[in-house]
Amino acid sequence: EPEVTQTPSHQVTQMGQEVILRCVPISNHLYFYWYRQILGQKVEFLVSFYNNEISEKSEIFDDQFSVERPDGSNFTLKIRSTKLEDSAMYFCASSEIGANYGYTFGSGTRLTVV
Amino acid sequence: AQSVTQPDIHITVSEGASLELRCNYSYGATPYLFWYVQSPGQGLQLLLKYFSGDTLVQGIKGFEAEFKRSQSSFNLRKPSVHWSDAAEYFCAVGARNTPLVFGKGTRLSVIA
């Protein structure tokens, strides 16, 4: 079964550093998403991406965040200057337009800011 | 505004007993509804989804859910719980190719 792949599975970074979280969506999916889950809390939407541009973003997705699809397969989330409160599990997801609609999550990257 | 309510934060059931996890939603359009399961430290695994048609949907691991439009509910059920079902369960609502809105989750504990 097709999967959404995320790397790394766990990243520790110092406050103020930049981090890039990587995702490889399912190949025939055209919509891409990032979600965040702070420990013990619910899953929150960050941003959606379609046709090489952001289609929707939440209040959480401020100027410290950016997304990019640098090539035909990767989809990245960059946090420019990490804060302690950015510590969370970050999930990538992708979905397709077609009739056989699927919405698949990756296994997540646990980001720890120290 | 779109929202999902999972009224039960934590449920404990005995192994072999039946299970029902509640989910109520508020959504302006015809919703797509999902149930995901998350084991500790793990990702989100899709249990089942509802888009249209038969309101009783079957999922993986013996789970099923029933969409009731009049009650804005999409409750998850399993007739006989196994110890391996202990996890966090999330209900989510959305539309085609739109962001999902998640509930706060229900933690399921299973006792012998």
A43 and B102: CB-CB below 8 Å?
yes
Q: How many angstroms separate the CA of residue A34 from the nearest CA in chain B?
A: 9
Q: A13-29, pLDDT tens digit by residue?
A: 999 999 999 999 998 88
A103 and B34: CB-CB below 8 Å?
yes
Q: How many angstroms separate the CA of residue A23 from the nearest CA in chain B?
A: 14
Determine the Cα–Cα distance for residues B63 and B46; give it in Å rounded to an integer. Answer: 11
pLDDT for the residue numbered A5: 94
Determine the Cα–Cα distance for residues A70 and B89; give it in Å rounded to an integer. Answer: 34
pLDDT > 80? residue A98:
no
Would you place residue B42 in the very low, low, confident or very high pLDDT band (cuts 50, 70, 90)?
confident
B interface mutation test: which of A43, A50, A54 has the most B CBs within 10 A? A43
Determine the Cα–Cα distance for residues B110 and B84; give it in Å rounded to an integer. Answer: 8
Q: What does pLDDT average to over chain A? A: 92
B86, B110 contact by CB (below 8 A): yes
Lowest mean pLDDT among A96-110, B19-33, B83-97: A96-110
pLDDT > 80? residue B29:
no
Length of chain A: 114
